[in-house]
Amino acid sequence: MIFNRKKIKTTGKQTLKLNYRKYVIVCLIVLLIGGGYTGTRDALFSAAEPSVIPEETTQTTLDRLPSSAKNSQAVDDFVKGVNDIYQVRNDTLTKMRAYKPTRGIFAQFFNNISSSGDFISGSLNAINHIAFKGQLQEGIIIYAALLIGILFSLFVAKILGVGEKRVFLESRRYTGTKMERILFPFQIRRVLKLGLAFIRLEIYNFLWMLTVIGAFIKRYSYYLVPYILAENPNITGKEAIALSRTMMNGHKWEMCKLELSFMGWYILNSLSFGLVGIFYFNPYKTCCETEVYMLLRREAITKNLPGSNLLNDVCLDPEMVVPEAYPVHEYHLPIPKQREWLKIDYNVNYPIQHLILIFFSFAFVGWVWEVSLHLVADGVFVNRGVLFGPWLPIYGAGSVLVLILLRPFRHNHLLTFFLAILVCGVIEYGTSYFLDMKFHTKWWDYSGYLLNINGRVCLEGLLVFGLGCYAIIYLVAPLLESLFSHLERRLGWIIATILISLFLTDLVHSHFHPNKGKGITDYQSHTIKKMDISIS
């Protein structure tokens, strides 16, 4: 028998064990961006009605009661326990929805999304309020949200799901495969082709939905389409649908029984607010589905079923698990080479002289940035910062530190970005704390911003700093290094010495007479304590 559920689940668990961290992250990306795993998403973001509790759970609870307990008492105690679970869950969700940041762009998006319950329409409403002050007609927002939602689903979410299936197909035998392969459809530039395939699939599903019973049956007929497209994204939607129907012929009821066997996991996932799904069930279920695809794929190739010649990725066939990555160079669709518009060597070992000049360059840029923001917002020039000169040392220090501390990680762009956020957060929080303790004054206050910590740092600011540091490491600093290298060494030291002398003079003066005043340190006067929702 080809459809052995016990063997499929056992193999799925083994594959999950070998690729656990990678699979959890990939499934979480699909959940958050692609909108997959609806059970987990609903459990996380919706206050669902109490689920039907399985009979074995009820019996286990009853068995724990004393034998002398009456049946009515047992039922009452059990129902009370279930209600307590949902009461805690609903209270938690209510508190989450009551969280209302009051300042910043992220606050606009967070409040609109949480109030509307929909990411697309909430985001458009936020853009409307930010850009047009709410003057846009609601009808435009609704239709624009609908259109964007459809396009996002077809050309981002669905295709991201194909990338997820690609990761699972490759990793079941090549455990060294990187999770970046989730971007496989985008890398080989088949977004439009795959999007059109899913348009055809959605049209078929819609038409079958009109027949009621046909929608249920055809769901399993088309079950393998994402996997087929993940193996060979060069085929049309019509070919993928026809091949899925052929491969699932005689196996639809078996697939239905496999899904029903996960019912206990669905219930447990709901009771755990979706955490079971994130950390185990979602990747485990996808592992099992991947094994089903490989079994039916092997059957189709062996029996030479119509369309089986399209299943031509021979690198998926080996049965032995190896620690290497999937041999991308052997795939029949090559990844196009990216154009190199600007060749920059970011792996630079910056000399001390140039680091000093870089410090003052970004300290000045930071000062210009802060002054410009206040000038645009209030129409008033304000000399921002603790010092009196045209520099904000926190910007210069952050830039130099990420160049020095993160040099070993420059080859990993994503890790560098998050480490830059961490470094900037520590610097900004530490500086704010020091100034507050020394002068009992705040030079900045993020109270009211989304996810701020004691008003000293906030998510919005840290993301901006992270993006800025990323640009500094991989683009701006290497260009400045190239510029400074043309300076005569002696002239460079003269400039650096002059700047350091002026900076130290300013630093000593500001130690006794710090730069204060309106627009600089007057946060206390206009901060409403009731609106301070910073996290501790």
DSSP string for 380-424: -----SSSSSS--HHHHHHHHHHHHHTGGGTT-HHHHHHHHHHHH
Alpha carbon distance 363, 367 (integer Å): 6
Q: Tell me: pLDDT of 435 over 70.
A: yes
Q: Is residue 338 part of a domain?
A: no
Window from 202-216, 259-273, 354-368 with minimum mean pLDDT: 202-216
Q: What is the pLDDT of residue 414?
A: 85
Alpha carbon distance 291, 299 (integer Å): 12
Q: Is residue 336 part of a domain?
A: no
Q: How large a percentage of the chain has pLDDT more than 90?
A: 51
User: Which of the pair, 228 or 528, is modelled with greater confidence?
Assistant: 228
Q: How large a percentage of the chain has pLDDT more than 70?
A: 79
Please compute the mean of the pLDDT values over residues 184-200 and round it to a whole number: 93
Q: Tell me: pLDDT of 308 over 50.
A: yes
**What confidence tens digit (pLDDT) does each residue in 259-283 have?**
999 999 999 998 988 889 999 999 9
Q: What is the pLDDT of residue 520?
A: 82
Q: What is the pLDDT of residue 532?
A: 42
Q: Is residue 339 part of a domain?
A: no
Q: What is the pLDDT of residue 112?
A: 73
Q: What is the pLDDT of residue 329?
A: 86
Window from 373-377, 380-384, 449-453 with minimum mean pLDDT: 373-377
Q: Tell me: pLDDT of 294 over 90.
A: yes
Q: Which pair of structure tokens corresponds to residue 460?
A: 């919005």
User: Which of the pair, 144 or 512, is modelled with greater confidence?
Assistant: 512
Q: Tell me: pLDDT of 219 over 50.
A: yes
Window from 41-45, 57-61, 128-132, 192-196 with minimum mean pLDDT: 57-61
| Same-domain pairing of 457 and 510 | yes
Alpha carbon distance 246, 389 (integer Å): 74
Window from 27-36, 183-192, 382-391 with minimum mean pLDDT: 27-36
Q: What is the pLDDT of residue 55?
A: 44
Distances (CA, A) of 521 to 49, 183, 440, 517: 49, 46, 10, 6
Q: Is residue 342 part of a domain?
A: no
Q: Tell me: pLDDT of 404 over 50.
A: yes
User: Which of the pair, 96 or 289, is modelled with greater confidence?
Assistant: 289
| Same-domain pairing of 287 and 145 | yes
For all residues of the chain together, what is the average pLDDT? 82
Tell me which of 280, 299, 330 is where a domain ends. 330
User: Which of the pair, 77 or 5, is modelled with greater confidence?
Assistant: 5
Tell me which of 330, 360, 377 is where a domain ends. 330
| Same-domain pairing of 181 and 247 | yes
User: Which of the pair, 23 or 97, is modelled with greater confidence?
Assistant: 23
Please compute the mean of the pLDDT values over residues 43-57 and round it to a whole number: 46
| Helices and strands per DSSP (H, E), number in the chain | 25, 2
| Same-domain pairing of 153 and 293 | yes
Q: What is the pLDDT of residue 58?
A: 41
- Name the most confidently modeled range: 61-70, 438-447, 519-528: 438-447
| Same-domain pairing of 262 and 403 | no
| Same-domain pairing of 138 and 252 | yes
pLDDT band at 330 (very low <50, low <70, confident <90, very high): confident
Inter-residue contact 517 to 388 (CB < 8 Å)? no
Tell me which of 265, 298, 330 is where a domain ends. 330
Please compute the mean of the pLDDT values over residues 148-155 and round it to a whole number: 84
Q: What is the pLDDT of residue 12?
A: 94
Q: What is the pLDDT of residue 334?
A: 79
Hunting for tokens 């990411």 — which residue is that? 119
Q: Tell me: pLDDT of 355 over 50.
A: yes
Q: Tell me: pLDDT of 56 over 50.
A: no
pLDDT band at 195 (very low <50, low <70, confident <90, very high): very high
Q: Is residue 337 part of a domain?
A: no
Please compute the mean of the pLDDT values over residues 82-109 and round it to a whole number: 61
Orientation angle between helical segments 55-63 and 71-98, nearest 10 degrees: 120
Inter-residue contact 472 to 362 (CB < 8 Å)? yes
Q: Tell me: pLDDT of 251 over 70.
A: yes
Q: Is residue 341 part of a domain?
A: no
Q: Is residue 335 part of a domain?
A: no
Q: What is the pLDDT of residue 19?
A: 95
Alpha carbon distance 148, 440 (integer Å): 49
| Same-domain pairing of 140 and 60 | yes
| Same-domain pairing of 361 and 319 | no
Q: Which pair of structure tokens corresponds to residue 315?
A: 């690198």
Alpha carbon distance 489, 260 (integer Å): 74
**Overall pTM surpassing 0.75 (yes/no):** no
Q: Which residues pair with 449 in a beta bridge?
A: 103
| Same-domain pairing of 68 and 208 | yes
Window from 87-91, 235-239, 243-247 with minimum mean pLDDT: 87-91
Q: Is residue 346 part of a domain?
A: no
Q: What is the pLDDT of residue 97?
A: 55
User: Which of the pair, 285 or 111, is modelled with greater confidence?
Assistant: 285
Q: Tell me: pLDDT of 353 over 70.
A: yes
- Exposed, middle or buried: residue 407 (CB in 10 Å: 0-12, 13-18, 19+)? middle
Q: Tell me: pLDDT of 373 over 70.
A: yes
Domain encompassing residue 129: 5-330
| Same-domain pairing of 245 and 293 | yes
Q: Tell me: pLDDT of 141 over 80.
A: no
| Same-domain pairing of 489 and 519 | yes
**What confidence tens digit (pLDDT) does each residue in 489-525 have?**
999 999 999 999 999 999 999 999 999 888 787 765 4
pLDDT band at 69 (very low <50, low <70, confident <90, very high): very low
**What confidence tens digit (pLDDT) does each residue in 440-497 have?**
888 899 988 888 999 999 998 999 999 999 999 999 999 999 899 988 999 999 999 9
| Same-domain pairing of 288 and 325 | yes
For the chain, the domain total comes to 2
Q: Tell me: pLDDT of 249 over 60.
A: yes
